[in-house]
Amino acid sequence: MKNVIITGAAGLLGSHVVTAFRDKGYAVTAMDAVETEGCLKVDLTKLDSAIEAFSHADCVAHIASIPRPVGYEASDIFSTNMQLMFNVQAAMEHNGIDRLVFASSFSVLGLPFAPRPVKIQYFPVDERHPVAPQDVYAVTKWLGEEMVEAWVNRTGGAAASIRMPWIQTAASFPKDVVPRRTRTESGLDLWAYIDARDAASAFVAAAEADLKGHRRFFISAADTYSEEPTRALLEKTYPGVACMSELDGFSAVISNSAAEKIIGFKPEHSWREY
């Protein structure tokens, strides 16, 4: 039986990742800052607590963070998210853990919270596209990836940074997405989402893949969250931006190609089945 440590295990993504690893036969050590059944309550912003809570494992899935810039002080977002990454890596090194899967975000592109317009250069967006974070949350995700890069260089470990859009379930979609998708600002999301089950499966796949070094890649549902065809959305919201593929029907404008090559990821779920 393989062992995995999951931080932020009580949250929407974390709880699905816990389930996905357990379903694959892993022994899971679930950690969160809040007291929840099945989770070890640990304040991972305290280095001593992180080192004490960790033990040897085959992989760490690092999900814990302040998950958005809205509703939090910028200084708290920065200090919390950066301290979490530092402490998790220090605890891994202390316990000889050499594989890390990091919950990054498509917000490294600058969207959807940037205070100034973000220039998207082409669609579908892939890993070659420049990153341009502005808001503090996006900055912590980009810096988190850079810290993962440094950790790999320092330790020789293997890591994946998974850049995810809005994570959804059948329960959250009508409440969170449906009221937003007809608004102009939906273009700032790139109309992108991913079902929580698919996101969780990507973490398991990354833990089991033959990774060398640090790989950064996007994942997305195969479709947009919009009821309007993708080409019409792009012509209206991003006129003149080059399209590198057909993007017919309701195709997503974030590419899964690298994720498929690196970890064999293919999304299986759509809001249309909700």
Closest CA to 102 of 192, 195, 13: 13
Q: Is residue 1 pLDDT above 90, yes or no?
A: no
Question: Where do the H-state alpha helices sit in the chain?
Answer: 12-23, 47-53, 74-95, 136-155, 173-176, 196-208, 230-237, 257-263
Q: Is residue 103 pLDDT above 90, yes or no?
A: yes
Average pLDDT estimate for 109-121: 96
Each residue's pLDDT tens digit, 228-269 = 999 999 999 999 999 999 999 999 999 999 999 999 999 999
What does the pLDDT read at residue 119? 96
Each residue's pLDDT tens digit, 159-217 = 999 999 999 999 999 999 999 999 999 999 999 999 999 999 999 999 999 999 999 99
Domain boundaries along the sequence of the chain: 3-167+193-222+252-273
Average pLDDT over the chain, rounded to whole?
A: 97
Q: Is residue 105 pLDDT above 90, yes or no?
A: yes
Give the contacts of 23 (CB within 8 A, at least 6 positions apart): none
Instruction: Work out the percent of the chain whose per-residue pLDDT is above 70.
Output: 100
Each residue's pLDDT tens digit, 65-91 = 999 999 999 999 999 999 999 999 999
What does the pLDDT read at residue 17? 98
User: Which CATH topology does 3-167+193-222+252-273 take?
Assistant: Rossmann fold (3.40.50)
Instruction: Work out the percent of the chain whose per-residue pLDDT is above 90.
Output: 99
What does the pLDDT read at residue 149? 98
Rounded Cα–Cα distance for residues 97 and 60 (Å): 8
Both tokens of residue 230?
A: 């993708």
Q: Is residue 31 pLDDT above 90, yes or no?
A: yes
Average pLDDT estimate for 53-63: 97
